[in-house]
Structure 1
Amino acid sequence: MIQLKKITVLFLLITVGINAQSTYKKWPDIIRKNDDAWFASAEAKKIAENVLLYQRNIGGWPKNIQMQQELSPQQQKDLIELKKTAAETTTDNGATCQEMLFMSKMYAQVKDERYKESFLKGLNYLLEAQYDNGGWPQFYPLKKGYYTHITYNDDSMVHILNVMKEISEQSDFYSIKPSKEIIEKTKKSFEKGIDCIIKTQYRQKGVLTAWCAQHDEVTLAPAKARAYELPSLSGKESAKITLLLMSVERPSPEIITAVQSAKAWFEKTKITNLEEKRVVNDAGKIIEKKMIVTQNASPIWARFMELDTNEPFFCDRDGIKKKSLEEIGAERRNGYAWYTDEPKGVLKKYAAWAAKNGLKVSGIETSAKKKDNFFTVAQDGSGDFTKIQDAVNASPSFPYEKVTIFIKNGTYTEKVRVPEWNTHLAFVGESKEKTIIAFDDNFSKINLGRNSTFYTYTVLVEGDDFSVSNLTIKNTSGDKGQAIALSIVANRAQVSNCIISGNQDTLYLSGKEAKQYFKDCYIEGTTDFIFGSATALFENCIIHSLKNSYITAASTPEGTAFGFVFKNCKLTAETSATAVYLGRPWRIYAKTVFINCDMGKHIKPEGWENWSKPEAEKNAFYAEYNNKGEGFQPTKRVSWSHQLSKKEAEKYTTENILRDSIQNWHSK
């Protein structure tokens, strides 16, 4: 029995997630004040001095500090000493992100440049703390232990990405406007973060589900944190992650798949027969917590669920799993949030989000969209079509919204053409390795004269604003001369997480003033296996040479600012390939640049070849910057190629390369 003397005990049936009325006694509550004028008050300025003191020189802040509490002279002196230590700087429990918001609100009312500088230092801290794979650790500089894991816990990474999103979109959320260079960095940071989220979504027996509160920073697998925070699927953290993905304008096929999968998992794992009963004292502290069986209760979700079965579990500080909340001790039972209602926000917003993106809801089209915005192709007859081309033919011409063709696993032996009138079309495969489009045409087989190459495609894209993700496109004719796997003669095309496989002339990229984007792809071939006149950016791709020959053969039109640009790519080869050129000019104004790429030893020291066209040495633009690997030998490159300066390399941003209208800055 609980002894009640000076404590008044209140029995309340509380819906999980509803907070008590704010009293503004806590630091986060002060930051969320909506009274703009208060941030110009003497009280606010005094608190701001504390916030400035707590910020370390590295830019971050420690967590769980009541910044509004008055500091003694000795405490102020101690904090000045701590500034240079970077001790306990973190993004956990809202730290750093919330202090940046406070500084932004202060600067909006009081143009003290120290507030602006503090905000920008905080932003730089967040940018520096990001892993190359897009995630963030809990503490930076890195602190030993589970703190190095990619941390979704308590929505830490979501908070950071929301900062990056607001700044990269140049919204009015923050009063402080960084430089264009910083804005570009936040844009890249956001894209990397979303990519990390996509890659860490857990597959349960091949089906995408949700996320763990933390993931290993190397393997990306669900990871353990504290003794009672075991690898699991998180009902809480996964909600904010999904809402963040839903906030992305013009979501990629990968984002759409991630949201759909998470929503389906939330539907599957919701609990509608339990409510949480809390016993609190007059100070608002929970002194007892129980789960009560209730019919038709408002849905809640467990904080931790088994990775393979979705079964809720609970842990005490001994790390031993229990099947019910009652089985763990009072300290952890009452001092931790074991259930949440946050996924209700996802389910509430999903229908509108699906309608906006032309998707089906529970197998039925939303009233705002027609049936011709989404098709499924499946060889077993479970979809709308069994052939991809039939789905393309059924798609509307020049639609106002994106049309998605979801392709289930299987090998589709067919030539697929996306005509010029089928714009805004998206191919989304069920899986990169098992969704395969293949055909075996080659130059000799086509036999239509000197231009036979262009008829050999497996997939031909003529419609603008095309995207394809999560599948393989192959030309299976073998090493029998020119044989295109993917031919894109369209503008604003995007290819992500795909395998493009062939031999000679694997990938043809063209189209009048066309801009095309390849991300996280594997592209392999032999001679000139990436060729054409388009402006194309390749990021984080593996470029694999099957034999000694040439990787690129650009035919960039005269006066075009960019041709083929490879950034953060890895150049690999079969063991038999030991002498591969980066490129040769199909036309004399060819442009090809490699930036931050890892080049294997198969790349020839001279790097480039003129294709018996001396005039190309004066007109072509072949360049590199900051590459690495045995194949990067800048001092041995042909004299007519270039090693970019840092300033020159900075012009190769995604925005500059891919925007539709651009000045020829090479002439400036």
Structure 2
Amino acid sequence: MINQRSTTILPKNGYDIQEAIDAVPSNNKEVVFILVEPGIYNEKIVVPADKPFITLSGSKPNGTVITGSDSGNIFESATFTVLASDFVGRYLTIQVYITSPCMCGPGAKAVALRVSGDRAAFFGCRILSYQDTLLDDTGRHYYSNCYIEGAVDFIFGNAASLFERCHLHTLSEGDASIIAQRRESPSEETGFTFLGCKITGVRTAVLGRPWGPYSRVIFVLTYMSNVILPQGWDDWGDSSKQSTVFYREYKCYGPGANNRKRVEWSQLLTAKEAEIFLTKNMIGGKNWIRSTPKRFKKASFAISNNSTTH
């Protein structure tokens, strides 16, 4: 049981976000609330596995921007990496800042956010890159009212995640995939569910393709603009995966949700089948998704960065 009387860390001018995270005791058992004042923070941040129960919060996402420019290895290059359990991110922009044209060209992988801890939640965040924006790697995760932007496989990984009321914006200029889920066996309880979301974009894209042979993606009550191609899904050039993937839609709407020309190996859910995907129970969220603490034990040191340039 965690201590609900939380600590707040308000770092002094000159401190960066990583220093505030590093100041949290290892294996702490109380919520630590780190308030980040508006500004642009050019940092590569890691929340280590031995620092659970951290909440990192800005006051509004457009004002608190964490930016990086690394690319390449998807597990090492992320601007922001969460390895700890019970992490919460609130009202932050996490992005890859494109410093050269080659970074956003075909094949260039630049991860903005990697989430590899269990029971992680993000509220009102903006997550921005081009290819491989959000590595939703392992664990149970919840994304609420987040804006996620990219062009190729920009939400990918093998977590068990619920995206609720999120806005997905594809920069694809052809037929790139939005989702690349990696479930590798039928015994894995992983997959991505998008509930009450919105999909927009600049040209056309498909909803998803299988990074793993048992890839599982569900769209429920989601608005799909005409950016979504009629076929809806792609098998990534491997027809054998058509019989093992689980790609489903339920009561989605908008011009891109027309299912008359969907690939035959995707299906619509019945009302009974959809029930489990309409609540947070699918990720056990009732037991771990927490609200902002109301009481704090102490205030020690708010992160402030008045820089307005990258």
Q: TM-score, normalization: structure 2?
A: 0.85
Q: CA deviation at 1:525?
A: 0.3
Q: CA deviation at 1:488?
A: 0.3
Is 1:636 the counterpart of 2:261? The answer is yes
- Residue pair 2:177, 2:207 contacting (<8 A) in 1 also: yes
Is 1:607 the counterpart of 2:236? The answer is no
Q: CA deviation at 1:570?
A: 0.4
Question: Which residue does the alignment assign to 2:119?
Answer: 492
Among 65, 69, 80, the alignment partner of 1:459 is 80
Question: Which residue does the alignment assign to 1:618?
Answer: 243
**Counterpart residue identity of residue 38, structure 2:** N
1:454 and 1:654 mapped to 2: Cα distance? 30
2:259 and 2:26 mapped to 1: Cα distance? 49
2:226 and 2:196 mapped to 1: Cα distance? 17
Q: Deviations over 1:441-488 (max 9, x none)?
A: 111xxxxxxxx2221100000000000001100011351410000000
1:503 and 1:592 mapped to 2: Cα distance? 21
Among 432, 436, 449, the alignment partner of 2:61 is 432
Question: Which residue does the alignment assign to 1:539?
Answer: 164
Among 11, 22, 30, the alignment partner of 1:401 is 30
Distance 1:557-1:357 versus aligned 2 partners, 3 A rule: farther
**Counterpart residue identity of residue 9, structure 2:** F
1:453 and 1:553 mapped to 2: Cα distance? 13
Distance 1:488-1:356 versus aligned 2 partners, 3 A rule: closer
2:126 and 2:5 mapped to 1: Cα distance? 26
1:643 and 1:356 mapped to 2: Cα distance? 42
Q: CA deviation at 1:533?
A: 0.4
Runs (5+) with no aligned partner, structure 2: 286-310
Instruction: Write out the 4+ residue segments of structure 1 that deviate beyond 2 Å after TM superposition.
Output: 653-656
1:655 and 1:439 mapped to 2: Cα distance? 32
- Residue pair 2:162, 2:280 contacting (<8 A) in 1 also: no
Distance 1:395-1:468 versus aligned 2 partners, 3 A rule: same
2:65 and 2:86 mapped to 1: Cα distance? 22
In the TM superposition, 1:200-599 aligns within 5 A as 356-358=4-6, 373-377=7-11, 381=13, 386-443=15-72, 452-477=73-98, 478-480=103-105, 481-511=108-138, 514-547=139-172, 548=174, 549-558=176-185, 559-574=187-202, 577=203, 579-599=204-224
- Residue pair 1:588, 1:616 contacting (<8 A) in 2 also: yes
- Residue pair 1:617, 1:640 contacting (<8 A) in 2 also: yes
2:76 and 2:190 mapped to 1: Cα distance? 27
2:234 and 2:205 mapped to 1: Cα distance? 10
SS of 1:639's partner is coil
1:467 and 1:491 mapped to 2: Cα distance? 11
2:71 and 2:161 mapped to 1: Cα distance? 24
Q: CA deviation at 1:437?
A: 0.3
SS of 1:647's partner is helix
Higher helix residue share: 1
- Residue pair 2:27, 2:52 contacting (<8 A) in 1 also: yes
Q: CA deviation at 1:502?
A: 0.5
Identity of aligned pairs, percent? 35
**Counterpart residue identity of residue 388, structure 1:** I
- Residue pair 2:232, 2:262 contacting (<8 A) in 1 also: yes
- Residue pair 2:158, 2:190 contacting (<8 A) in 1 also: no
- Residue pair 2:124, 2:145 contacting (<8 A) in 1 also: yes
1:506 and 1:521 mapped to 2: Cα distance? 13
Question: Which residue does the alignment assign to 2:305?
Answer: none
- Residue pair 1:522, 1:544 contacting (<8 A) in 2 also: yes
Q: Deviations over 1:407-457 (max 9, x none)?
A: 0000000100000001011101122101000000111xxxxxxxx222110
SS of 2:57's partner is strand
Question: Which residue does the alignment assign to 1:27?
Answer: none
1:540 and 1:562 mapped to 2: Cα distance? 20
**Counterpart residue identity of residue 462, structure 1:** L
SS of 1:601's partner is coil
Higher strand residue share: 2
**Counterpart residue identity of residue 81, structure 2:** L
Aligned length: 275
- Residue pair 1:398, 1:424 contacting (<8 A) in 2 also: no
Q: CA deviation at 1:562?
A: 4.4
- Structure number with larger C-alpha Rg: 1
**Counterpart residue identity of residue 214, structure 2:** Y
Distance 1:659-1:464 versus aligned 2 partners, 3 A rule: same
Q: Deviations over 1:616-652 (max 9, x none)?
A: 1011100000000000121211000010001101121
SS of 1:560's partner is coil
1:531 and 1:486 mapped to 2: Cα distance? 11
SS of 1:636's partner is coil
**Counterpart residue identity of residue 650, structure 1:** E
2:195 and 2:68 mapped to 1: Cα distance? 30
1:518 and 1:603 mapped to 2: Cα distance? 22
Q: CA deviation at 1:610?
A: 0.3
2:276 and 2:4 mapped to 1: Cα distance? 35
SS of 1:615's partner is helix
1:561 and 1:393 mapped to 2: Cα distance? 33
Q: CA deviation at 1:356?
A: 4.0
1:473 and 1:586 mapped to 2: Cα distance? 24
